[in-house]
Amino acid sequence: MSEDSQRNFRSVYYEKVGFRGVEEKKSLEILLKDERWDMEKLCTFCQRFPLPSMYRILVWKVLLGILPPHQETHLLVMVYRREQYEDVYHALEVMRYINEATPKSHVFLYMNLLESGRLSKIQRVLSAEDPEDELFLAVADAVEEMVDDDVDCYWLTKTFVQHLDTKFRDSQLGLQKGFEQYLTLEDGRLVAHLKACGALDKLPYDSWFRKCFASSLPPSSLQRVWDKLVSGSCKILVFVAVEILLTFKMKVMALNNSQTINEFLEKIPEDNTDPIVNKAIDLWHKHCGVPAHSV
């Protein structure tokens, strides 16, 4: 194999596992070798490049505060996290809120309600009518497909939802306005069609922005979007929504009422989601650059 062929092979391989170049892998490994991780540099890396699966969960746990930046403490802290998980789980079993048949996402929500002092004595069946609980369940279902360990799943779900509430609580309206702004820049004719159909204000913004695409994208695509959220930017959500519309422009243009457009966009084909996320990240870089904590 020639040198050029070897180089091309490596480039394709690293792109498949989440890197666009060999140097990105080296730079991340250098960051992770430090005894104390530099949080700002780690956030900047996540903003610029996708995290590969081999590092993603560990990096998320540090950025979300589940683990401290000091590597030498990681093992001990996770022992404490696991013990806390087991104590709360056992308490819910004793109180007969959960059993072996309880869906994991519901178990995690019960645990969160108990730890936050919001668990009702009569709340034996979850209805998810509370928007906060509905969001928690949507995130839990998505995270459950990303990680194998229940303890990691609970702590990632809990802290990710807290992260969203702390960082992006009041961003929904701004994201919706930003979506219209950037979609107009990319394709004004498509925006005009959505307005003419009365669909622009009725798109599935709740699933897109409030739930961070947790019920719209498969985990393989979703986690690359959440890399940006975990590291401090919610604006990536705008460009994912924009790219969904651009990708399915011909289909949307053929629909003439808000209901059918909304129904289609709520069930986008999963085989298109990886290209959509790739293009959305490119759009985000194009319009916003790559600041460390862009919101």
Residue 56 belongs to a domain:
yes
At 144 the pLDDT is 96
One domain, residues 197 and 112: no
One domain, residues 100 and 43: no
At 123 the pLDDT is 60
Query: What are the DSSP calls for 127-190, one per residue?
Result: ---SHHHHHHHHHHHHHHTT-S-HHHHHHHHHHHHHHHHHHHTT-HHHHHHHHHHHHHHH-HHH
CATH number at residue 95: 1.10.8.680
CATH number at residue 28: 1.10.10.750
At 107 the pLDDT is 96
One domain, residues 140 and 195: no
Whole-number mean pLDDT of the chain?
86
Residue 24 belongs to a domain:
yes
Assign 190 a pLDDT band (cuts: 50, 70, 90). very high
One domain, residues 159 and 180: no
* Portion of the chain with pLDDT greater than 70, in percent: 86
pLDDT at 126 over 70: no
Average pLDDT over residues 1-20: 43
Average pLDDT over residues 66-80: 95
What whole-number distance in Å separates Cα of residue 164 and Cα of residue 172?
11
Average pLDDT over residues 188-213: 93
Looking at per-residue confidence, does 137 or 268 come out higher? 137
For residue 200, give its domain range. 170-288
One domain, residues 21 and 78: no
Q: Which of 166, 184, 219 is the last residue of a domain?
A: 166
- Whether the full predicted model's pTM is greater than 0.85, yes or no, is yes
Assign 268 a pLDDT band (cuts: 50, 70, 90). confident
Q: Which of 107, 131, 166 is the last residue of a domain?
A: 166
Average pLDDT over residues 283-287: 90
66 closest CA partner among 82, 89, 47: 82
Cβ contact 137:105 at 8 Å: yes
Domain count, the chain: 3
